[in-house]
Structure 1
Amino acid sequence: MHPAQWNAHFGHPVPKIVSRKHIKKKPKVVQPLTCEVCKIQCDTPEVLRIHKTGKKHKKNLERLQDSITPKPVKPPRTPNTVALAANMAPDPVTTSVTTSVMPAAQTKKKKSAAATPEELEVKRRRVLDAGAAQGEVKICTVCNVVVNSQKVYEFHIIGQKHKAMVQKQQAQPPIA
């Protein structure tokens, strides 16, 4: 141990004739900063600040907020609730129809076999608005699905739901 280091170690003043370059400094211990939303660690506050302005962080933040925020439950709008909302007497004809219990099979909304070109265009527009590249958007007309890349489209094509839809369409007789 150099005498200047020994003096500094035991609290004695360093003589002025000894240069400080012989005394080794302790390395700084860097505490990693954590982004709790994305569960990642950053080395410096600057890196963390840049991360928080990025797309992935913002997307994860939206997902977290959506999972925390309770969704409002809207009651189904029937003619009675429309009449009550307008401070009118409920119509007795529609009352008997709307209060009757329908079997579960009738209450489910049936999906149409083929979507209209307008519906597919609306889906395509949503995918583009979400950030997909114009040339990468693919459409599966069999399943009425719009995807944001060739890779996702390939996964869809080999998937069970797509195969089931193809079999279902092949089993149906052609419309003449």
Structure 2
Amino acid sequence: MFAQRAAQQSLRRLAASNPQASQLVFKQFAAPAVMGASIQTRPVATQKMTPTDSYEILVAQRKLRPIAPHLTIYRPQVTWYLSALNRITGSVLSGGMYIFGSAYLISPLLGWHLDSASMAAAFASWGIVAKVLTKFTIAMPFTFHCINGLRHLTWDTGKTFSNKTVIQTGWAAVGLSVASALYLAIL
């Protein structure tokens, strides 16, 4: 911005102090239209139209506009699914936290027992398969969202952002998520 103002001021001072020298500068740098040499013009044709006629032309022009292709014409890729799953797991985790937090706050008013001891005793009474499945169901979105978040953070640094590495890191994120969720579920 400062450089533009400085250049404008110097050209103005040159034009004010020495008109012949300023015309040489303008011939070199300015467009021909400024010097009056040849001005390009384009005739404009207008006509009076009724509002219905102009609307019909607008509708006809809209029919000729290109339409953005829908996702169904493209071949599905792992990056699509992982992007969608990252958003879904983030929503599930935050929604679950808000629902449980709200239930925990209003539980004394409703007579519910959501304190840690009651929940641990209730969970301990379940069978081993139910415990593992519940723990896996809770751990999987958490681990996937965390690992995929780390993947996105590395993208922000500009690393691993080629097509090949994006696909490789995507499958690595899926594998690590499943393995860590299984580990947490078995604990």
TM-score range normalised by the length of the shorter chain: under 0.3
Give the alignment's TM-score, normalised by structure 2. Answer: 0.21
Q: Looking at both structures, which has the greater relative contact order when contacts are Cα pairs under 8 Å and sequence separation is at least 6?
A: 2
- Considering fraction of residues, name the structure with more helix: 2
- Which has a greater percent of strand? 1
